[in-house]
Amino acid sequence: TYTPPLAPCISLGLRSLPRSVPLGTSALSVARNQLCNVDHLLQAFSGLQELSLSHNLLARFPRGLPPSLESLLLQENRITYITSGVLRQLRNLTRLHLEDNRIRAIQPGALLGLRKLQLLTLKGNKLTSLPRSLPPSLTHLDLSENCISSLDLPSLAALVNLQVLQINSNCLRSVPENTFDSLPRLRSVGLTNNLWVCECDILYLYRWLLSGRLKMATDLVCKEPVHLAHRLLLNLSVVSICPRVLKPNEKTRLPMVASVEAVGTSDRGSYENRDDLQWKMSKEAIVTNEQKLQGSRVLPYSFETLTYEECLNFNSSPSARLILSLILTALPRNVCHRDVDEIFQYGRCVVAQLLALAQSYFFSSCFSL
């Protein structure tokens, strides 16, 4: 195989580019020197594909780089700002390393012209928000070790080819609803070491973690509220995260309340098969906003404290006839019995194990406890 000519000029204390580098060079490394400015000095290298300017003293993104570049390494410099137009000519770039600079902002659209860019690393900078108008071609994006406090959904939604997203060690407090739903190829997300507030707004992320749909670290630690600080998110129950359990004489916050019953019909007292359970949902609201919820209606956690073994014993007892009633506050546009049916298809231990799963899976999107 053909190996591109390499010109290594590493750790030579250079303050300017050496004139001896052949113009036909396709891979050039001048890393670990003292370069402050290389604007337009590389424009004549029309066949240059790989360039490393890492570990230098560059205070801004180099101007006049050759359009032939496919890989550009600029990590550990002093770049503070990326302006629109400075990368416009780099239409063949597939890899851009900008980690460990001092970048505070990237002008909207500055990277949009990089239509072949697949990997972008911005780790260890000073960004406070997700860069806007990122190229849809991106497959790997690393934004770790910044102080990004929120995720811009339109910017993320445009990244239809994104496979790996790293946002470790930032200032995120929660993840907006539907953040990952619009990224069809996403397979790995890094979210550790953020400022997670383990309250109702984090239920979307909580549900994603439980679903296992993504390769994602599950050791997310709560920063707030105080009584949950330093606790692992996945060690918490939905009720401790979002204690919206309806109490007697409390008005509902949503327009409708429905009752769902799981009725075991097996004469054998065992619920191994899906057909042994019937699911019923009231067709009409049993409580409206103008009515008060009676204490007898508050039944969702009657058996939640049973252990898994106790649950199995209960379900296999000769006289078992399982009736599980849930009080669910449902949005009018949702007919939530379908979700209930999907949740309880997993087996016989409905009382303890699957009730907890149901809370995490659909209460935050279909219901509000």
What digits encode the pLDDT tens for the residues 133-158?
A: 899 999 999 999 999 999 988 889 99
Rounded to an integer, the average pLDDT of 224-243 is 88
Task: Specify the DSSP class assigned to residue 356.
Answer: H
Nearest to 101 by CA among 73, 83, 122, 71: 122
pLDDT of residue 93: 98
Least confident of 25-29, 52-56, 277-281: 277-281
Determine the average pLDDT of the residues in 253-279.
36
pLDDT band at 307 (very low <50, low <70, confident <90, very high): very low
Task: Give the H/E segment covering residue 153.
Answer: helix 153-157
> What percentage of residues in the chain have a pLDDT greater than 90?
45
How sure is the predictor about 90, in pLDDT bands with cuts at 50, 70 and 90?
Answer: very high
Smallest CA-to-CA distance from 105 within 80, 72, 140, 135 is with 80
Is the pLDDT assigned to residue 275 strictly greater than 80?
Answer: no
**Region 50-78: what's the mean pLDDT?**
96
Which residue in 78, 46, 45 sits closest to 61, CA to CA?
78
148 token code pair: 């990004």
Q: Is the pLDDT of residue 310 over 80?
A: no
For residue 6, what pLDDT band results from cuts at 50, 70 and 90? low
Q: Is the pLDDT of residue 68 over 90?
A: yes
pLDDT of 122 above 90: yes
d(CA 47, CA 168): 37
Residue 352 has pLDDT above 80, yes or no: no
pLDDT for the residue numbered 213: 72
User: Rounded to two decimals, what is the model's pTM?
Assistant: 0.66
CA–CA–CA angle 70, 72, 74 (5° rounding) = 175
- pLDDT more than 70, % of the chain: 63
> What is each CA distance from 369 to 123, 244, 298, 323, 365, in whole angstroms?
38, 4, 11, 20, 11
Contact 174, 151 (CB under 8 A): no
| Helix count and strand count (H, E) for the chain | 6, 17
